């Protein structure tokens, strides 16, 4: 059993105790000392999916043809990246969640429920229209027009005859990302559904964007959770080893 799996199971046991009216102190020395020893002996760095940065996303999008599958995948990739959507958030989007911004700058998207909003208060995020070949707003409009989607789920399944079905599952997001990575000549094992979200944060940091602006877009509950992507993005942007005349 992996150390991370053990941690998740212990957390579930603690929640079960609380629901039953009992207390389980996970910080008790008898538990903490054992866990520390296990991590020291068997722990390893958690494997993270590679971030799909701007260049990677453009390479993936470049594999999408103008048929329904290509238009759907193109919209999924650009939408998922531009607003750093979690997989569940992305597949839950509906036409009714969209509104054109009054200034003409793009779309306002309402996320009804997410990992960071368990009570369902809703969050509104913006998708900027870029006017480029990889504009997420234009990609979404092209997919909707071709698929005839006027209400209901935005991203939908397609059967082998090209018939439009119901909304995609969150697992389908990862499959699309992996398939497009492979067609683009990349190693599909490096990427997952989370790669789009991680890629936006990493790319934004690499471009020197403000931490608070990145957090607003990704909707991370704390900067600490966002920091690993920012560190990756800034790894070479301000690297002293390349600036000392070596």
Q: Which residues are catalytic?
A: 86, 115, 194, 197, 220, 229
Q: Residues for the chain: how many in total?
A: 246
Sign of the torsion formed by the C-alpha atoms of 243, 244, 245 and 246 = negative
Q: Look at the block and give the residue holding tokens 């911004």.
A: 101
Three-state secondary structure string covering the chain: CCHHHHHHHHHHHHHHHHHCCCCCCCCCHHHHHHHHHHHHHHCCCCCCCCCCCHHHHHHHHCCCCCCHHHHHHHHHHHHHHHCCCCHHHHHHCEHHHEEECCCCCEEEEEECCECCECCCCCEEEEEECCCCCCCHHHHHHHHHHHHCCCCCECCEEECCCCCEEEECCHHHHHHHHHHHHHHCCCCHHHCCCCHHHHHHHHHHHHCCCCHHHHHHHHCCCCHHHHHHHHHHHHCCCCCHHHCCCC
């Amino acid at each position: 059993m992996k150390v991370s799996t053990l941690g998740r199971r212990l957390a579930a046991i603690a929640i079960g105790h609380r629901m039953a009216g009992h207390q389980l102190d996970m910080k008790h020395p008898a538990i903490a000392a054992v866990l520390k020893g296990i991590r020291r002996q068997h722990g390893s760095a958690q494997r993270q999916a590679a971030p799909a940065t701007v260049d990677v996303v453009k390479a993936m999008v470049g594999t999408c043809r103008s048929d329904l599958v290509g238009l759907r995948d193109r919209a999924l990739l650009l939408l998922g990246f531009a607003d750093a959507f979690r997989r569940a958030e992305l597949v839950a989007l509906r036409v009714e969640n969209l509104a054109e911004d009054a200034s003409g700058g793009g779309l306002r998207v309402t996320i009804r429920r997410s990992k960071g909003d368990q009570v369902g208060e809703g969050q509104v995020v913006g998708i900027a229209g870029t006017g480029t070949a990889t504009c997420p707003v234009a990609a979404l409009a092209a997919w909707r027009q071709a698929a005839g989607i006027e209400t209901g789920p935005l991203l939908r399944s397609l059967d082998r005859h090209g018939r439009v079905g119901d909304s995609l599952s969150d697992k389908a997001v990862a499959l699309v990302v992996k398939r497009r990575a492979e067609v683009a000549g990349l190693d599909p094992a490096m990427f997952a559904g989370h790669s789009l979200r991680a890629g936006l944060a990493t790319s934004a940091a690499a471009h020197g964007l403000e931490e608070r602006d990145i957090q607003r877009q990704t909707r991370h509950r704390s900067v600490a959770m966002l920091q690993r992507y920012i560190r990756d993005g800034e790894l070479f942007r301000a690297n002293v080893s390349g600036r000392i005349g070596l």
